[in-house]
Amino acid sequence: MTLVAPDVLTRPSPSLLSRARILLAILDPLRLAGVVLFVLVWQVLTLGLPAIILPTPRGVVERLVADFWSAPALSYYGVEEANLYGNLIYTAENVAIAVVIGSVIGILAGLLSARFGIIRAIIDPVMMTAGTVPILVAAPFLLIWFGVGRASAVCLVIFYVIVILYLFAQRAATNLDPVYEESARTLGATPAGIVRDILIPATVPEILGGLRIALAGAWGLEAIAELLGSQSGVGKVLEVLAGATDPQGIMATLLMLGLAAIVVDAVAAFAVARTAKWSAASR
């Protein structure tokens, strides 16, 4: 009765299993059916609506392909990069910078706040306030400080990422049962060893879950920040296309942004499954 069930021993290792599951999730026939249905409804609607209101799916995809490497019209509108690719890279760079900086600060602050009451007492009110105010309303203020360059959009996203990862890291560390640390101490672990072998591995799955959420939000926030004031980026493209009343261009740009976010999230999900293969929640 205390012996392990035979299937535990013979089934493939969890990492293989989770890899297969992620693939399946992407190729799930039901999900594909949902996408097909959406495109069908869209196509039917275009029969009754003029292209200036609702472009056809095919037109949007063709536009995306055409504009991806070269869209001379954009330079005419004052966008630095005259193609979608360059603007996507600009946005993606900003998201990457902001997520890296924001998560390092957020995770460290969150873990420290869970360990030391005084740090928590100092940081919590700030984070709680920042968490309740929609961070986007700080955009005009940041524009005053940093102008329309990279810095203001990146700052906005950094704030957002810090708040999310602070909360996730803090919760992960607070929920960690003290018995693990006590056990490690009785086995002879040093304080540094406890951080390396207990605190970090135990909180990684939950923190990576927060990172995925922050990443998803960061794309949107970065695009909106660019929309409000920027020289380049997906948001800037959307802004000028909206000014030019070009729904097809807008939808092509949105489609590209969405696809980029999906690919990045799939990579992040894969990383979570790999790093946290011990945890039932990660499978």
Partner 1 sequence: MNSAANSRMIEIVHVNRTFQRADGQMVKAVDNVSVVIKEGEFVCLVGPSGCGKTTLLQMVAGLLEPSDGGIAVAGREISGPGRERGMVFQKDSVFPWMRVIDNVEYGLKCRGVPAAQRREIARTYLERVGLGHVEKAWPRELSGGMLKRVAIATVFANGSRVLLLDEPFGALDYVTRHQLQSVLLDLWDEGGAAARRTVLFVTHDVDEALSLADRILVFHSGHLVDDLAVTAERPRSTDSLLLPDMVAIKHKLLAHLGLEKRAKPLAIVQDGAAS
- Considering only 197, 213, 224, 247, the residue that binds partner 1 (CB under 8 A) is 197
Closest to 80 (Cα-Cα) out of 231, 246, 268? 231
- Considering only 54, 202, 225, 268, the residue that binds partner 1 (CB under 8 A) is 202
* Total residues belonging to the chain: 283
Question: Binding to partner 1 by residue 224, rule CB under 8 A?
Answer: no
Give yes or no for a contact between 253 and 238, defined as CB atoms under 8 angstroms apart.
yes
Question: Binding to partner 1 by residue 19, rule CB under 8 A?
Answer: no
Per residue in 241-277, is it b (16+ CB within 10 Å) or e — as a string? beeeebbbbbbbbbebbeebbeebeeebbeebbebbb
Closest to 83 (Cα-Cα) out of 273, 250, 237, 272? 237
Question: Binding to partner 1 by residue 2, rule CB under 8 A?
Answer: yes
- Considering only 9, 35, 44, 144, the residue that binds partner 1 (CB under 8 A) is 9
- Closest separation in Å from C-beta 101 to partner 1: 27
- Closest separation in Å from C-beta 274 to partner 1: 13
On the 0-12 / 13-18 / 19+ scale of CB atoms within 10 A, 133 is: exposed
- Considering only 53, 182, 242, 267, the residue that binds partner 1 (CB under 8 A) is 182
Q: How many residues bind partner 1 (CB under 8 A)?
A: 30
Enumerate residues 56-75 that contact partner 1 by CB under 8 A.
Answer: none
Task: Indicate the residue among 75 and 183 with the shorter CB distance to partner 1.
Answer: 183
Question: Binding to partner 1 by residue 27, rule CB under 8 A?
Answer: no
Which residues have CB under 8 Å from 80's CB, separation 6+? 86, 231, 232
Binding span for partner 1 by CB under 8 A among 4-12, 40-48, 165-173, 208-216: 4-12
- Considering only 73, 151, 184, 216, the residue that binds partner 1 (CB under 8 A) is 184
Q: Rounding to the nearest 10 degrees, give the CA dihedral for residues 160, 163, 167, 169.
A: 90
Cα distance between residue 136 and residue 144, in whole Å? 14
- Considering only 43, 104, 183, 258, the residue that binds partner 1 (CB under 8 A) is 183
Question: Binding to partner 1 by residue 146, rule CB under 8 A?
Answer: no
Determine the number of helices (DSSP H) and then strands (DSSP E) in the chain: 14, 0
- Considering only 123, 170, 189, 214, the residue that binds partner 1 (CB under 8 A) is 189
Question: Binding to partner 1 by residue 10, rule CB under 8 A?
Answer: no
Which residues have CB under 8 Å from 57's CB, separation 6+? 39, 42, 43, 46
Q: Which residues bind partner 1 (CB under 8 A)?
A: 1-4, 8-9, 14, 177, 179-180, 182-190, 193, 197-198, 201-202, 204, 276-280
